[in-house]
Amino acid sequence: MKDLLPAPADYRLEGRVWVQGPHDRFLGIGRLELLAQIQATGSISRAAAAMGMSYKRAWDLVHSMNTQALAPLVATQTGGKSGGGALLTSAGSQAVADFQGVQTRFQAFLAEETRRLAE
Amino acid sequence: MKDLLPAPADYRLEGRVWVQGPHDRFLGIGRLELLAQIQATGSISRAAAAMGMSYKRAWDLVHSMNTQALAPLVATQTGGKSGGGALLTSAGSQAVADFQGVQTRFQAFLAEETRRLAE
DNA sequence: AAGCGTTATGTTTGTGAAAATATAACCTTC
DNA sequence: GAAGGTTATATTTTCACAAACATAACGCTT
């Protein structure tokens, strides 16, 4: 592409990847970050706030993941001390770790291809 | 992920990649197919029809690519024999070839990562 | 000069996803 | 038993983007 573009350094390969199930999306970068925020904050509502996302959307995403997986990724509690909360199950932590690996390798792919664009 | 999902074989990594410029998207899978259809049909309107896309949208995409590239990827002619038409410039053919290479390597990446998901 | 198929371009309408809004239920704490 | 903060869920509203619609211009052909 180098001789196709006026300023090749300003162009790069970007992209997104996600794990797709038979019916719905299972995991993507947004859901990954949501899981990480739930882990960090201990609640869906605080995770949503931290991401500038509505609570409903966050809950829907959690629901989608929990119902698709063999075991829930997020365990929730309604009521109780400080109103309740949410935390990652071991399945949840494993999903986070696994998909972070995918993301890391994908970023490497994009960087390598961006390098190629300029040659 | 293998022990996270009920039927790991039904889940795969999917994704999209595109060349992003400072202001607009430059090339993606849709634009690539559009260029290929222009090459095959000799006109923007026939290419759009072949893709089930409105002519205006196709023209806008061509315009976006032509104005971002150093030289136009698509040469057009208004009026004349059979009303006019469009064809790929050499820059256009090179862009198609280059991005097809990116796409091929990306599909290989997705396949490899999908294989990984099941292990 | 009238017609045809195309490029070129502006304006209006639809539509689907996200956000906003609204309630209810839950359980600990005070 | 009232309050507080959370999960859980339905309904309504917004908004960005694509589709649809509408016109004009262009230059061969007949």
Chain B residues within an 8 Å CB radius of A98: 1, 4, 117
| C-alpha to C-alpha distance for A54 and A47, rounded to whole angstroms | 10
Examine residue B3 and state whether it is found in any structural domain, yes or no.
no
Inter-residue contact B110 to B16 (CB < 8 Å): no
Examine residue A54 and state whether it is found in any structural domain, yes or no.
yes
Residue pLDDT, tens place only, A20-59 = 999 899 999 999 999 999 999 999 999 999 999 999 999 9
Examine residue B15 and state whether it is found in any structural domain, yes or no.
yes
Examine residue A96 and state whether it is found in any structural domain, yes or no.
yes
Where does the pLDDT of residue B2 fall: very low under 50, low under 70, confident under 90, or very high at 90 and above?
confident
Examine residue B113 and state whether it is found in any structural domain, yes or no.
yes
Examine residue A14 and state whether it is found in any structural domain, yes or no.
no
Average pLDDT over residues B91-118: 97
Examine residue A99 and state whether it is found in any structural domain, yes or no.
yes
Average pLDDT over residues A7-28: 94
Q: Domains in chain B: how many in total?
A: 1
Q: Which CATH number goes with the domain that contains A110?
A: 1.10.10.10
Rg (CA), chain B: 18
**Cβ of B83 less than 7 A from strand C:** yes
Examine residue A6 and state whether it is found in any structural domain, yes or no.
no
Closest nucleotide (CA of A57 to C1')? C18
Beta strands in B21-117, from DSSP E residues, in sequence order: 25-27, 74-78, 84-88
Chain A residues within an 8 Å CB radius of B19: 1, 11-14, 117
Integer distance in angstroms from CA A77 to C1' D5?
12
Mean pLDDT of chain B: 95
Full residue range of the structural domain in which residue B90 is found: 8-117
Inter-residue contact A50 to A1 (CB < 8 Å): no
| C-alpha to C-alpha distance for A22 and B26, rounded to whole angstroms | 31
The token duo for A7 is 């300023």
